[in-house]
């Protein structure tokens, strides 16, 4: 796919992978509609990108956990840009707490943003993307292939996203719809800082070594390359590829490896 003059909608675009994807798409000539809750920050990003890369940009304040917000995001995109070619479902939130200790509101919030946000945006954008034989991307996680301790809600939301998008791909097998699952592995961003604790409040500090992770810019390049090449799935790290492989063939052994890995994080939960 040649990205020049394509219209790309990116959720969760005010920071991290979403912001990095916006910059990478703009470098390749795509026009952008950026969605997030932080409207002022979003407007600053769209203005910077417009001035630097000379592409059309639009900021739309959006809480993807609200169906009406997602509906209005897509309506504003079509009204302003005239079309939608690519939807990047990137908005997401994490959590960190043992299931036995947490308030169920934690799981509800995570599912509302990570899963239902993807469903809502995809629902209202689908027909336009089908008309243009475009792309729908879900920014997922290795947690969508292997349940991770202390992340029951996060893993559940990513498993649900993966299943939803895989079913959507199969439903539209003859419609030339491109559906891609992008699984970055651990990426340096603020997602762990704002991860919900057992009381559904931001934990405030990452439990992992952020400086040893992939950068958001590196992840964005791979995602945009994947859209251009219409790839089916991106597992971006060797650790991630090994995890997916072992989950298929040695799941019990992998349970122990994952358990021991998470025992070593800062302030371990297990």
Is 120 noted as a catalytic residue in this protein?
no
Distance (Å, whole) CA 150 – CA 161: 19
Give the E-state strand segments of the chain in sequence order.
Answer: 7-11, 31-36, 57-61, 86-89, 135-139, 178-183, 187-188, 214-215, 233-235
Return the DSSP state at 172. T
Which of 208, 95, 108, 195 shows the shortest CA–CA distance to 155? 95
Going from the C-alpha of 210 to that of each of 75, 141, 188, the distances in angstroms are 37, 16, 5
Given 120, 124, 154, 259, the catalytic residue = 154
How far is the C-alpha of 214 from the C-alpha of 222, rounded, in Å? 11
Instruction: Please list the active-site residues.
Output: 154
């Amino acid at each position: 796919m040649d990205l020049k003059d394509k219209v790309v909608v990116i959720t969760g675009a005010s920071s991290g992978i979403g912001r990095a994807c916006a910059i990478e798409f703009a470098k390749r000539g795509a026009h952008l509609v950026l969605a997030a809750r932080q409207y002022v920050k979003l407007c600053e990003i769209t203005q910077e990108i417009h001035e630097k890369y000379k592409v059309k940009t639009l900021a739309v304040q959006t809480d993807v956990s609200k169906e009406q917000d997602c509906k209005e995001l897509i309506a504003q995109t079509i009204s302003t840009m005239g079309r939608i070619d690519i939807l990047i479902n990137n908005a997401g939130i994490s959590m960190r707490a043992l299931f036995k200790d947490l308030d169920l509101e934690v799981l509800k919030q995570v599912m509302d943003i990570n899963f239902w946000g993807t469903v809502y945006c995809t629902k209202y954008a689908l027909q336009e993307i089908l008309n243009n034989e475009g792309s729908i991307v879900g920014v997922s996680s290795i947690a969508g292939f292997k349940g991770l301790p202390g992340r029951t809600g996060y893993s559940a939301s990513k498993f649900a996203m993966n299943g939803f998008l895989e079913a959507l791909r199969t439903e539209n097998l003859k419609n030339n719809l491109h559906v891609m699952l992008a699984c970055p592995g651990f990426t340096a961003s603020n997602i762990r800082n704002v991860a919900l604790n057992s009381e559904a409040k931001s934990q405030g500090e990452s439990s992992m070594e952020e400086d040893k992770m992939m950068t958001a810019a590196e992840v964005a390049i791979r995602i945009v390359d994947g859209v251009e090449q219409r790839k089916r799935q991106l597992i971006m790290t060797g650790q991630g590829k090994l995890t997916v492989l072992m989950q298929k063939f040695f799941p019990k052994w992998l349970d122990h490896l994952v358990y021991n890995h998470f025992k070593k994080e800062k302030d371990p939960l297990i």
